[in-house]
């Protein structure tokens, strides 16, 4: 009986073997199919983990600048009397260094004219006749024959002297503000995903660089304090009515005949240096109207870094959001030009030092950013994106001379767009 039972069991086992093998094969194929489906699903909804985006960004504002302490026009620099015979330039004239002329020295450079006197230039005719063709004022150490004054008030200020004045202004707190309009920039962004929150959402990190310009300028008139420094130069004679300048000449007339149209010098020399004991300084609050132009120009590169999320809607549309830290490296030039009109000066005269003044500075600012972007995917790697962006950066202050400029990049919003590549 036992051998018969074993034989029956063997036959039954052999009969069931094909079914068992078929079931195992079917189970293996199903597992493989499910794995393939899962991989396809992940690729469909999650896609490549890295993405690089290049595009533009248009912000609603380039920042605000508060220009302060305006209306400071510096004076022309004047050498002290101890500097001796040098050129001195004033707002209402000049006093120049004097020296020996070529027709009053010998071949060795020695003075042939008499200091404090006059010297003559002669000409010898073919028959040996010697004639005077020029009569000039001699060089005298401590005096100058080269100067110019512009107004009668300079002669009337102190008898026996000529007054020369330099003007400047001091700010009384003049200020203007300028807020820049929309500004275009460029951006480069890299995003990396690390995992999924759900079947259609993943999380990661975003970093990138943006570049935007800064350009703020304003112009106007501010009221300032008018300062005046007046030096006095002693006159070695009587000076005719203003305006007057030296050297001065009239025709040389001999026996009623004009020998040389510029043959007789009428120059009244001045002292070469001012009498510093007579120098005056005055200030008149509200006495000046300063017309100016002020500008801050530059650019900033912003680094952004923060967490991000990515939502896949379907095969072609997806959304990305990111928020985080922003740091900006800023470089700007602050330039100013201010002019002042003084009633005591002719229209042709320029008061103060009206050159363009400028300063350069660099700063690192901190803040935050936020982006929300929608993307249309053309294929597995390339897509077009567009969205909104917002940022907030701190402010800083820059100076040129005594003038200030508070530069506030502040809070701005804008739009962004471009092309992205996944890999």
Summarize the chain as % helix, strand, coil (round to 5): 15, 60, 30
pLDDT exceeds 50 at position 3:
no
| Closest alpha carbon to 206 in 18, 20, 389 | 389
Q: What is the mean pLDDT of residues 152-166?
A: 96
pLDDT in tens, 188-218: 999 999 998 888 899 999 999 999 999 999 9
**Phi, psi for 218 (deg, rounded to 5):** -155, 165
Q: Is residue 5 exposed (0-12), middle (13-18) or buried (19+ Cβ within 10 Å)?
A: exposed
The pLDDT tens digits for 208-257 are 999 999 999 999 999 999 999 999 999 999 998 989 999 999 999 988 88
- Judge whether 269 and 143 are in contact, CB under 8 Å: yes
CB 267 within 8 A of CB 248: yes
Rounded CA separation 409/416 (Å): 18
Integer Cα distance of 327 and 46 in angstroms: 30
Give the Cα separation of 148 and 136 in Å (integer).
Answer: 18
The residue extents of the domains of the chain are 1-44, 46-99+139-422
DSSP states along 357-406: EEEEEEEEEEEEEEEEEEEEESSSSEEEEEEEEEEEEEEEEEEETTEEEE
Smallest CA-to-CA distance from 66 within 404, 417, 422 is with: 404
Average pLDDT over residues 147-167: 96
Contact 408, 62 (CB under 8 A): no
Once rounded to an integer, what is the mean pLDDT over residues 99-103?
95
Average pLDDT over every residue of 317-334: 97
Question: For the chain, what is the radius of gyration of the CA atoms?
Answer: 44
**Please, are residues 171 and 71 in contact by the beta-carbon 8 Å criterion?**
yes
> Among residues 418, 321, 422, 417, which one has the least CA distance to residue 379?
422
- Residue that is written with structure tokens 């199919």 in the block: 33
In angstroms, the Cα distances linking 20 to 23, 88, 98, 224 are 5, 116, 124, 104
More reliable by pLDDT, 350 or 166: 166
Q: Can you tell me the distance from the alpha carbon of 11 to that of 124, in angstroms, rounded to the nearest whole number?
A: 157
**Beta bridge mates, 292:** 220, 338
Q: Residue 30: its pLDDT value, please?
A: 58
Tell me the average pLDDT across 269-294: 96
Q: DSSP letters of 50-110? A: EEEEEEEEEES---EEEEEEE---PPPP---GGG-S--EEETTEEE------GGGB-TTS-
pLDDT for 47: 58
Which residue(s) pair with 67 in the sheet? Answer: 176, 405
Give the chain's count of helices (H) and strands (E): 2, 21
Quote the pTM value.
0.77
Tokens of 214: 């800064």
Place of tokens 């002020």: 294
Q: Is the pLDDT of residue 5 over 60?
A: no
Q: What is the mean pLDDT of the chain?
A: 90
């Amino acid at each position: 009986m036992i051998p018969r039972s074993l034989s029956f069991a063997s036959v039954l086992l052999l009969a069931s073997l094909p079914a068992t093998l078929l079931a195992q094969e079917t189970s293996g194929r199903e597992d493989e199919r499910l794995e393939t489906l899962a991989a396809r699903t992940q690729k469909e909804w999650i896609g490549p983990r890295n993405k690089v985006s290049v595009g533009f960004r248009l912000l609603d504002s380039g920042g605000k600048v508060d220009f302060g302490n305006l209306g400071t026009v510096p004076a022309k620099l004047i050498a002290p009397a101890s500097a001796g015979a040098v050129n001195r330039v004033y707002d209402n004239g000049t006093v120049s260094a004097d020296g020996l002329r070529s027709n009053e020295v010998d071949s060795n450079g020695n003075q042939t004219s008499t200091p404090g006197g006059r010297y003559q230039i002669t000409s010898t005719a073919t028959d040996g006749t010697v004639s005077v063709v020029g009569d000039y004022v001699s060089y005298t150490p401590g005096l100058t024959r080269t100067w110019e004054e512009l107004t009668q008030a300079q002669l009337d200020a102190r008898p026996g002297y000529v007054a020369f004045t330099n003007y400047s202004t001091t700010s009384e707190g003049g200020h203007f503000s300028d807020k820049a309009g929309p500004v275009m920039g460029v951006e480069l962004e890299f995003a990396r995903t690390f995992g999924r929150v759900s079947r259609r959402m993943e999380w990661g990190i975003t970093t990138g660089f943006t570049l935007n310009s800064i350009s703020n300028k304003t112009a106007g008139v501010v009221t300032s304090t008018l300062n005046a420094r007046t030096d006095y130069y002693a006159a070695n004679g009587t000076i005719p009515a203003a305006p007057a300048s030296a050297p001065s000449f009239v025709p040389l007339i001999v026996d009623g005949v004009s020998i040389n149209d510029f043959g007789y010098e009428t120059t009244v020399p001045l002292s070469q240096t001012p009498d510093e004991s007579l120098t005056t300084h005055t200030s008149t609050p509200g006495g000046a109207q300063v017309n100016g132009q002020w500008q801050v120009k530059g650019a900033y590169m912003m680094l952004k870094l923060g967490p991000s999320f990515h939502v896949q809607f379907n095969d072609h549309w997806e959304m990305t959001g990111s928020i985080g830290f922003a740091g900006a490296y800023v470089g700007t030039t602050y330039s100013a030009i201010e002019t002042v009109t003084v009633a005591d000066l002719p229209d042709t005269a320029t008061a103060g030092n009206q050159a363009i003044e400028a300063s350069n500075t660099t700063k690192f600012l901190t803040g935050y950013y936020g982006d929300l972007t929608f993307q249309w995917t053309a294929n597995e790697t390339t897509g077009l994106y567009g969205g909104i962006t917002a940022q907030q950066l701190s402010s800083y202050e820059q100076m040129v001379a005594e003038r200030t400029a508070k530069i506030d990049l502040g809070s701005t919003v804008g739009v962004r767009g471009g092309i992205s590549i996944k890999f």
